[in-house]
Amino acid sequence: MNKRLYPFYQIHYLFQNVFVTNLLLLRMKKTCLFLVVLFALILQFCTSTYKAISRKNRKVTYVNNIQPIVMNSCSPCHILPEGKKKAYNTYAAVKASVDSMLIRIRKNPNEKGFMPARSPKLSDSTINIFVQWKKDGLLER
Ligand code: HEC
């Protein structure tokens, strides 16, 4: 373009520069946004994986896992003072009886000796917590 033939050259040039600069800024903004989102996603992935791993490494214990189930499902019958059946209100008692408890909670409701009596069968995942507790060494806490 001939500068002399085009009187608005200066202005044109200026505007063109502004336009290009704006375009570049917009691109940079987009890139930054993309990087922030990417970083957030990576962070999210890392924390959830970390949580999953630490959950897996945590062992089943009486206080954290077993006691709440027993207090919930085996009361009042097996929990003193109201309970008149074999007491399962302490760590020592539950630890000593875990095998007979497992036999009873694995039965089906129509079988003789099924536990918890007069209640629905415990879920497989709940029963498995008892199995895992044994595997983990019957820890108290
Ligand atoms: C509604 C009351 C009731 C509930 C709830 C109950 N039981 Fe029982 N349980 C009984 C009775 C009654 C007996 C005695 C009769 C028998 O042995 O079947 C008994 C006996 C037992 C025995 C045999 C005890 C022994 O003397 O060797 C085990 C083991 C047992 N229950 C486990 C459980 C477990 C585990 C739960 C909770 C998941 C539970 N029970 C919930 C009433 C109950």
Residue ranges per domain, the chain?
A: 1-58, 62-135
Sorted by sequence, the CB contacts under 8 Å of residue 105 that are 6+ apart come out as 115, 116, 121, 122, 127, 130
The Å distance, Cα 58 to ligand 1 centre, comes to: 29
Residue of minimum CA distance from atom 26 in ligand 1? 86
The Å distance, Cα 78 to ligand 1 centre, comes to: 7
- The confidence score (pLDDT) of residue 3 equals 62
- Tell me the pLDDT band of 23, cut-offs 50, 70 and 90: confident
What pLDDT digit, counting tens, does each position of 87-122 carry? 999 999 999 999 999 999 999 999 999 999 999 999
Please, which residues bridge with residue 61 across strands? 139
| Crossing angle between the packed helical segments 91-106 and 124-135, to the nearest 10 degrees | 130
What pLDDT digit, counting tens, does each position of 59-75 carry? 999 999 999 999 999 99
pLDDT at 128 exceeding the cut of 90: yes
Distances (CA, A) of 16 to 4, 8, 25, 27: 18, 12, 14, 17
- The confidence score (pLDDT) of residue 108 equals 97
Looking from the CA of residue 122, the nearest atom of ligand 1 is 38
Question: Average pLDDT of 116-137?
Answer: 96
What pLDDT digit, counting tens, does each position of 37-60 carry? 999 999 988 888 777 777 667 899
CB atoms within 10 A of CB 130: 22
Residues having CB closer than 6 A to ligand 1 are 73-74, 77-78, 85-86, 97, 100-101, 104-105, 113, 115-119
CB 132 within 8 A of CB 55: no
Looking from the CA of residue 69, the nearest atom of ligand 1 is 38
